[in-house]
Amino acid sequence: MDAPVSEQTADAEPERRPAAPRSVQRSLASIILGFELIVVFLAALVNYGLPTGGLISLGPVGSLVAGGVLCLLIILTLGLIRRPFAITLGWIVQVLILLGGFFNVAMFFVGALFAAMWAYGMIRGARIDRWNKENA
């Protein structure tokens, strides 16, 4: 005969504290960085195919390596987004994307667009987080 199996009830489950609300600023940062990752990856492929598209030419392989390093930096920033210094690292990413305009002139426009979104998201997100903290 089989031994009786003890059944656990819902009452036996330990109480869980509700998770702290996620920061709006950090949520916006991860969304913007996620889209930037896609755009930078595709821009690296364009620079590989069109190595003479900018003011400075790294050659096809150099453009691909530079784009890959920037993609890895964005992924690192996304992974560290809960840390306080991640927002500063995100600002560095914005500057590097703007500097990518020297390798492909279109990246000046793309970098300015993403930098504006980043600035708006970080300023507005911090303001919303402060408001939520005051009214909690």
Question: Would 30 be classed as within a structural domain?
Answer: yes
**Residue 99 in domain:** yes
Query: pLDDT tens digits for the chain (136 residues)?
Result: 565 555 555 556 677 776 667 899 999 999 999 999 999 999 888 888 876 667 777 777 888 899 999 999 999 999 999 998 999 999 999 999 999 888 888 899 999 999 999 999 999 999 999 999 999 7
In a domain, 31, yes or no: yes
Instruction: Compute the distance between CA of residue 63 and CA of residue 59 in angstroms, rounded to an integer.
Output: 6
Range of the domain at 33: 23-130
Closest by CA to 42, choosing from 21, 63, 25, is 63
The answer to whether position 54 is within a domain reads yes
Q: How many structural domains is the chain composed of? A: 1
In a domain, 18, yes or no: no
Instruction: Collapse the DSSP code of 53 into the 3-class scheme (helix H, G, I; strand E, B; otherwise coil) and give the result.
Output: coil
Residue reference for tokens 């600035």? 119
- Whether 9 maps to a domain, the answer reads no
2 inside domain: no
CA distances from 119 to 55, 58, 75, 132, 134 (A): 27, 29, 19, 20, 23
In a domain, 101, yes or no: yes
